[in-house]
Chains A and B, each alone.
Chain A
Amino acid sequence: MMHVLKIAHAATLPRLAAVAIAGLGLAGCYDNGGDPKIQIGDNPVLPPLQQYLIPPIRIAEVVPWANETPTVPQGLQVQALATGFEHPRSLYVLPNGDVLVVESNGPKAPIHRPKDVVTGWVQWFAGAKGKGGNRITLLRDTNGDGVPDVRTVFLDHLNSPFGVALVGQDLYVANTDAIVRYPYQEGQTSITAPGSKLTDLPGGPIDHHWTKSMVASPDGSKLYVGVGSNSNITENGIQAEYERAAVWEVDRASGAHRIFASGMRNPTGLAWEPETRKLWAIVNERDEIGPDLVPDYLTSVRDGGFYGWPYSYYGQHLDPRVEPQRPDLVATAIKPDYALSSHVAPLGVAMYAGTDLPAGYRGGAFVSEHGSWDRSPFNGYKVVFVPFSGGRPSGPAQDVVTGFLNANHQARGRPVGLAVDRSGGLLIADDLANIVWRVSSNRSERPQDAAESK
């Protein structure tokens, strides 16, 4: 299999597969995706859906960064904050400036269909099967030179953790199957006290989308948790989707929960918009109906809102793969606020309220795009910035951190979790290269910009 995959990366898997079945007269046609720009913003162009004999798979060959770094626009600089992690997926900054790096990967996926065997090979080839540390590492920069000089294992023996939230002295970790609370004192570099479970979350045995993103409400009384679907499009049965594809609101005192919003296939990141104090989410949409379907999105999350999955996408566009349909729900489906274009896989969002980066970034959203695996040409593999004004996106997304793919379309890294550190730098977890990158203003290069942001 390794040999086949090695050949496949040169030709790309779908082309190889197409050649393999061409002799049978069954060759599928693979349309290349169009310009992603027409699918960015509040009114994405949606082509008709198509279904495949063999869904396109296009994964990038993995190569090391060597001594290179991602690329940033003039006026910014990027450096590796720390390296050598075990699949860093999300980041959290404590009030004293300590950075928590959540090292995690999904639980072993069960094989329910012959297709699951193939999926496993594809993920392994894409470098997505790297062992997760199931722990949280703490980084501290005591002398303020931008280089962490303390590195400790903050919490160990977790179960596919992703979201982290601190409220007062309670530190919450969203494992894939439960929210666990730990006592935390400011300045602590490791927690050995046993955690106590606040509530169960939908976990195994399938656990298709395993990450549980989490933020606390501004008043600290609630936790909001993004729970992804248990399938691409209900192929594991609608029963497996109970309370999934939703944003949960968990009461911090009792652990009781309600569904705050539903129909969001995989809400991998949650953030509070700083101006209106509304909850926003990034959502990964469905696969296998075309290179330009369905755009992943960034949206405000309305209380009680239904966002379509699985029955429809982008409002009332029906998905014929779901049976039985629910016209009653589809009629209420909300069209998301802002499309990010198809298959970019947004896995991190950070609303920028810091002051280090140029003023243009103030109040907008950084979104990390892990990158496509089923679209040609590749889409994503970068961190973009969506400007906001009056609490709403106000313009096209700008590329901020690029170069995760090199000129030969090989992947050197893939951006995941984002966070803004205490001095206003943007932190990016790279789960392919096992690095945490830090983007900050390069004041020596653009002194006028530093003046501007005063």
Chain B
Amino acid sequence: MTLHSPSRTTPDRMDLSFSGEAIHPIVVSFPVAYFTAAFVTDLAYWRTADVMWESFSDWLITAGLITAGFAIIVFVIDLVRGKRSRTLAWPHAMGYVLAVLLSLLNAFVHARDGYTAVVPTGLTLSALVVAILLITGWAGRALIARRRQGAHT
């Protein structure tokens, strides 16, 4: 075990000890990147109708869902170990869950054959997922900022 067990009452402390911190924020960045990239390749397919981009989107969404699955597992492990994230709060988590559910729906839409695998429903869902991720990220930061302020005053 670690020598200095971090306190759970100070969410803003700069302790980088791996065993003491929640691990899931690291894993969460993978689905975020995959889903965002899928939106970009969807845009490319919408403009070019080149199926290469549609294949990219398919695999990116699939990879996003798989890594999101890992993130959920790791999150549960963190909960069991009693490690709380410095950055993840419940409204934040709800945003991620919504993004993953919409992406699951999006994977089915993307499994269609031809142009309607992306345009318009698939592209719309990809854009919606990116918007939710952005709002969630911003809300998360705002939340932390407020907490920090609270801690300093």
Instruction: Name the one of A113, A231, A319, A320 contacting B58, with C-beta atoms under 8 angstroms.
Output: A113
Q: Which of B52, B62, B107, B119 contacts A323 (CB 8 A)?
A: B119
| Inter-chain contact A115/B111, CB cutoff 8 Å | yes
Selecting from A47-55, A364-372, A437-445, the interface stretch reads A47-55
A235, B114: Cβ atoms closer than 8 Å: yes
A288 touches B113 (CB 8 A): yes
Residues 287-327 of A at the B interface (beta carbon under 8 Å): 287-288, 310, 319-324
Interface centre among B109, B113, B116, B119 (most CB of A within 10 A): B113
Task: Report Cα–Cα, A17/B119, bound state, in Å.
Answer: 24
State in angstroms the CA–CA spacing of A53 and B112 once bound together.
Answer: 8
Q: Contact: B115 with A323, CB < 8 Å?
A: yes
**B78 CB to nearest chain A CB (Å):** 25
List, in ascending order, chain B residues with CB within 8 A of A319's CB: 114
- CB contacts under 8 Å to A, within B103-130, are 104-105, 107-109, 111-117, 119
Distance in Å from the Cβ of A121 to the closest Cβ of chain B?
14
Are the C-beta atoms of A233 and B101 separated by less than 8 Å? no
> Any chain B CB within 8 A of the CB of A256?
no
**B51 on the A face (CB < 8 A):** yes
Query: B109 near A53 (CB under 8 angstroms)?
Result: yes
Hey, which chain A residues are within 8 Å of B105, CB to CB?
A: 24, 26, 53
B49 at interface by CB-CB < 8 Å: yes
Interface centre among B58, B104, B112 (most CB of A within 10 A): B112
Name the interface residues of B37-77: CB closer than 8 Å to any CB of A.
Answer: 49-52, 54-55, 58-59, 62
Inter-chain contacts of A453 with B (CB < 8 A): none
B113 touches A323 (CB 8 A): no
Residues of B in contact with A, size category: 20 to 34
CA distance A239 to B105 in the complex (A): 29
Q: What's the nearest-Cβ distance from chain A to residue B66, in Å?
A: 10
With A113-B55, A114-B62, A235-B51 already in contact, the answer to whether A321 and B112 are too (CB < 8 A) is yes
A241 to B40, CA, bound (A): 27
B33 to chain A, nearest CB (A): 18
Pair B104/A233 contact, Cβ less than 8 Å: no
How many angstroms from the CA of A310 to the CA of B114 in the assembled complex?
A: 10
Total interface residues on A, using CB and 8 Å?
28
A323 near B108: Cβ-Cβ < 8 Å: no
A324 (CB) vs chain B CBs: closest residue:
B49
Please, what's the 1-or-0 string for A258-296, where 1 marks a CB less than 8 Å from any CB in chain B?
000000000000000000000000000001100000000
Contacts of A288 on B, CB cut-off 8 Å?
A: 112-113
| C-alpha spacing A319/B114, complex, angstroms | 10
Interface string of A219-235 (1 = CB under 8 A from B): 00000000000011111
| B116 close to A114 (CB less than 8 A) | no
Q: Does A142 belong to the interface (CB within 8 Å)?
A: no
**A322 and B51: CB pair below 8 A?**
no
A51 CB contacts on chain B under 8 angstroms: 112, 116
Residues of B within 8 A of A324 (CB): 49
Instruction: Say whether A236 faces chain B, with CB atoms less than 8 Å apart.
Output: yes
Given the complex, which residues of B lie within 8 Å of A54, measured CB to CB? 108, 111
Q: What is the 8 Å Cβ interface bit string for chain A, positions 128-141, against chain B (1 contact, 0 not)? A: 00000000000000
Answer whether A322 and B115 are a contact pair too, CB < 8 Å, given A53-B105, A112-B55, A237-B50: yes
Give the distance to chain B from A16, nearest Cβ to Cβ, in Å. Answer: 14
| Interface pair B113/A232, CB less than 8 Å apart | yes
Question: Is B49's CB under 8 angstroms from A231's CB?
Answer: no
- Chain A residues within 8 Å of B58, by CB: 113-115
Contact of A113 among B49, B111, B116 (CB under 8 A): B111
B57 to chain A, nearest CB (A): 10
Distance in angstroms from A282 CB to nearest chain B CB is: 22
Q: How far is the CA of A226 from the CA of B37 in the complex (A)?
A: 41
> CB within 8 A of B114: which of A21, A52, A114, A233?
A233
Q: Which of B107, B111, B114 contacts A234 (CB 8 A)?
A: B114
Report yes or no: B111 in contact with A320, Cβ–Cβ below 8 A. no
In the complex, the answer to whether B116 meets A53 with C-beta atoms within 8 Å is no
Which parts of B4-61 form the interface with A (CB within 8 Å)?
49-52, 54-55, 58-59
Q: Are A323 and B114 also in contact (CB < 8 A) when A24-B105, A26-B105 are?
A: yes
Task: Name which residue of chain A comes closest to B113, CB basis.
Answer: A235
Chain B residues with Cβ under 8 A from A235's Cβ? 51, 54, 113-114, 117
Lowest 5 A-B CB distances belong to which pairs?
A321-B114, A323-B115, A235-B113, A237-B51, A53-B108
A–B Cβ pairs within 8 angstroms, 7 of them: A21-B104, A26-B105, A114-B62, A114-B111, A231-B113, A232-B113, A233-B114
Given A51-B116, A235-B51, 15 more pairs with CB closer than 8 A: A21-B104, A53-B108, A54-B108, A114-B59, A114-B111, A232-B113, A233-B114, A235-B54, A235-B113, A235-B117, A237-B51, A321-B114, A321-B115, A323-B49, A324-B49
Chain B residues with CB under 8 Å of chain A are 49-52, 54-55, 58-59, 62, 101, 104-105, 107-109, 111-117, 119
